[in-house]
């Protein structure tokens, strides 16, 4: 079975490898051009003449924006030149619908391996630099043609940081509900602001918005109803 190109191409088969091959063929794509999303790994044993629902592996294949495919190749080459043994996978990230950052929903280049601390650095400084280099190699100083943002994560550092930021955001949301006053967080990189918006998207009684520019861009958490005070009620660190 398949969907239109925007939603992706779906395929099912007894194994993940077969399902992926089938979906790539339906899409007319190579592995370098595609994002493969695993919907079900399958498994299970069927009795003779019976079929177990979910027994087959299922995948969805979507065409990567050209700059995303290029970013993966550039990152893999950088790792090779640095003599770092690691693998690079592409993951599609969730996008907060109630308060999205500008542009298309981001994808993440996930780097996994052993002893990757050098790629992360002190408080993620090396990781941010690596992401900047990869995006500059793809687009230079021009905006991405498709609006697609590429995020680089190493050993799930950003993922862990996003969980921490989400916990902070929910705690501050409770304070905003208690006092009825908005709170402003310290300046954050885009992926942390996105984590705040996602964490608060379904929180009753509060809303979040990004304000400011460049390195000073930050998130304000406000009560969802009632007048907005002219100033911001408090500042929180993360």
pLDDT tens for residues 52-76? 445 788 988 888 888 888 899 999 9
Mean pLDDT value of segment 65-93: 89
88: left (phi over 0), alpha (psi -120 to 50) or beta: beta
SS3 for 9-21, per residue?
Answer: EEEEECCHHHHHH
Q: Work out the angle at residue 199's Cα, subtended by the Cα atoms of residues 216 and 152, and round it to the nearest 5 degrees.
A: 60
The predicted-structure confidence for 192-201, as pLDDT tens digits, reads as follows: 998 999 999 8
The chain-wide mean pLDDT, for the chain, equals 81
The DSSP H or E segment spanning 169 is helix 157-179
Element (H, E) at 172: helix 157-179
pLDDT tier at 2, thresholds 50, 70, 90: very low
Q: Which domains does the chain have, with CATH numbers?
A: 9-63 (no CATH), 66-155 (3.30.300.20), 161-236 (3.30.1370.50)
Question: Residues 11-31: what's their mean pLDDT?
Answer: 89
Kindly list the distances between the CA atom of residue 145 and the CA atoms of 129, 156, 173, 233, in Å, as whole numbers in the listed order: 22, 28, 36, 39
Statement: the pTM of the whole predicted model exceeds 0.95? no
Q: CB count, 10 Å around CB of 63?
A: 17
Q: Which of 2-11, 121-130, 163-172, 220-229 has the lowest mean pLDDT?
A: 2-11
């Amino acid at each position: 079975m398949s969907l239109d190109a925007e939603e992706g191409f779906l395929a099912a088969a007894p194994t993940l490898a077969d399902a992926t091959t089938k979906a790539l063929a339906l899409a007319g794509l190579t592995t370098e051009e595609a994002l493969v999303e695993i919907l079900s790994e399958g498994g299970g044993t069927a009795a003779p003449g019976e079929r177990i629902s979910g027994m087959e592996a299922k995948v969805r294949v979507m065409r990567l924006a050209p700059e995303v495919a290029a970013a993966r190749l550039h990152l893999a080459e950088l790792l090779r030149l640095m003599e770092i043994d690691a693998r690079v996978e592409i993951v599609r990230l969730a996008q907060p619908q109630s308060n999205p950052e500008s542009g298309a929903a981001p994808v993440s280049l996930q780097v996994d391996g052993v002893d990757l601390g050098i790629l992360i650095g002190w408080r993620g400084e090396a990781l941010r630099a690596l992401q900047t280099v990869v995006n500059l190699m793809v687009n230079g100083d021009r905006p991405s043609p498709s609006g697609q943002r590429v995020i680089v994560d190493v050993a799930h550092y950003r993922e862990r940081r996003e969980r921490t930021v989400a916990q902070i955001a929910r705690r501050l949301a409770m304070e905003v509900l208690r006092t009825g006053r908005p709170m402003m967080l310290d300046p954050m990189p885009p992926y942390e602001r996105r984590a705040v918006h996602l964490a608060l998207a379904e929180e009753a009684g509060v809303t979040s918005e990004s304000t400011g520019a460049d390195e000073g861009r930050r998130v304000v958490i406000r009560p969802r109803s009632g007048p907005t005070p002219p100033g911001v009620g408090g500042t929180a660190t993360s």
